[in-house]
Amino acid sequence: MNRLDHSRSLDPALCPDSSVSLLQARLARLDPSRLSRGCAHVSSLMLAGALLACSRAPLPEPVSQAQAVSHSKAAAQAQEFAPQAFEAAEHLKNEALALHDEHREAESEAAGAQALAAYNEAFALSQISIAQERLEQAQKNKQQAQQQLSQLDTLQAQVSQDAEGFELQVRVALDTEAVKDVDKLTPARAEARRLAAKQLTAEAALLCLGARLLHAEGNALDAATSQVTVLEKELGVGSVKTDLYPRSADARALCLKELSLARRKQAERAPQSAQSDVLLAALSSAGKYMVFRDDRGVVINIGQPLSGDRLTDEAQQALQVLGATAKKYPHFPLLLVVHTRKSGEEKRAEQLGQFAKDALLTAGAPAVHVKSVGSAQPVIQASQSQAAEKNERVEVIFVVPGR
């Protein structure tokens, strides 16, 4: 721009090189010695005045501004994004300069203003172009993000479905874990399952016995009783190699079913025969005993029944009361269950059972059936203190004949 301005500061048409040279030559012919200092000064002024007269008019302001903006950063952007509009502006700027060269200053100024407006138009168009590109890119990015999210949602649904399916399969598999998996059990868990199996088998034995006391018969009861007998033998070994818990649970369920069927028949024959509520109320009113009802019937627990080799006074009194009660309710078969302190106390269990049975019979009970379950159903774990005293006990069960 500067170069252009300087080159246009002298107009060759108005100030040809010859006239300037002539003036310079005339001044040079003057003898400096004949000239006073004042004359020399006047000569210098005359030369400057002549040069000024030869200079041309300055560029109109709009043209200068158009030249300035044509080299701006925005112009470079406009050249890239709005090339046609930029070219039009450049054309107008050149027209303005050409008009200025022709000394058509008014029209040059108007053309400069036109060029300035054209540059601004190019800038606006480039802004639109940039905004459009940005908008298109934003739309594209949004579409991609939506697709990604949609794909992830689909994957999530699939993986979630798989996970839930597998988890359900695991739960089902664990619930129906096969007996052969016992090898994979930890020793502690295997032992816990064996103890639970012993309890269930003991319960099964009592339930099957209860069914027989209610005069139940049939192959199903025989099969269930046989199963219980086999289990008692197997559990007596103490091995945990075979998981007997599922079979014990089955055996208990079978015996309970037989007892329920027997009770149903009794109830059909004599609907009022049960009277278990009356019996329970009568025993509870005595207030001395721990009375409760379970699948077997109405149960009275007598703890710590032995002192040395005979029944304690408290046990003796309780058994007398219960024997008398059994006499009043003869349709409730009486089952005496003996629990020992630990395994291997069969003799002590037999002795305790005999003492208790005698006491009941003496008190008037019509019949007593004794069953020892050994240490299969402890009140507390054998390893705990006072386990021996608390676990040795007798249960007098009034087998409920009806529902």
Partner 1 sequence: MKASEARQKKAQADGDTASAQRWADVVQRYRRIAALTQQAASLAQQATAIEEQTAELNTQTRRARNLLEQTEVRRARALGELQRLGITPPAAPSGAAPAPNERPSTAQ
Taking the least distance from each CB to partner 1, the nearer of 84 and 381 is: 84
Taking the least distance from each CB to partner 1, the nearer of 167 and 217 is: 167
| Residue of 35, 98, 135, 223 that binds partner 1 (CB under 8 A) | 135
Q: Phi first, then psi: what are they for 332, rounded to 5°?
A: -95, 105
Residue 119's closest CA among 182, 168, 76, 176?
Answer: 76
Number of shown-chain residues binding partner 1 (CB under 8 A): 48
Closest distance of CB 182 from partner 1, Å: 14
| Cα–Cα distance for residue pair 276/237, rounded to 1 Å | 38
Closest distance of CB 185 from partner 1, Å: 13
Which tokens hold the place of 325? 């009660």
In sequence order, the β-bridge partners of residue 398 are: 298, 334
Taking the least distance from each CB to partner 1, the nearer of 137 and 239 is: 137
| Cα–Cα distance for residue pair 209/214, rounded to 1 Å | 9
Closest distance of CB 191 from partner 1, Å: 22
| Cα–Cα distance for residue pair 403/41, rounded to 1 Å | 147
400 CB-near residues (< 8 Å, 6+ apart): 263, 274, 276, 293, 297, 298, 332
Q: Which DSSP letter does residue 138 get?
A: H
Which tokens hold the place of 217? 């018969």
Closest distance of CB 162 from partner 1, Å: 5
Which tokens hold the place of 36? 């006073």
Taking the least distance from each CB to partner 1, the nearer of 165 and 218 is: 165
The CB density around residue 298, as the number of other CB atoms within 10 Å, is: 23
216 CB-near residues (< 8 Å, 6+ apart): 258, 259, 261, 262, 265
Taking the least distance from each CB to partner 1, the nearer of 147 and 362 is: 147
Closest distance of CB 223 from partner 1, Å: 31
Contact code string over 208-247 relative to partner 1, x by CB under 8 A: ----------------------------------------
Closest distance of CB 88 from partner 1, Å: 10
User: 149 to 208, contacts with partner 1 by CB under 8 A?
Assistant: 149, 151-153, 155-156, 158-160, 162-163, 165-167, 169-170, 173-174, 177
Q: Phi first, then psi: what are they for 299, rounded to 5°?
A: -115, 135
| Cα–Cα distance for residue pair 333/320, rounded to 1 Å | 16
The piece of 41-49, 70-78, 115-123, 235-243 that touches partner 1 (CB under 8 A) is 115-123
Footprint of partner 1 (CB under 8 A): 106-107, 109-111, 113-114, 117-118, 120-121, 124-125, 127-128, 130-132, 134-135, 137-139, 141-142, 145-149, 151-153, 155-156, 158-160, 162-163, 165-167, 169-170, 173-174, 177
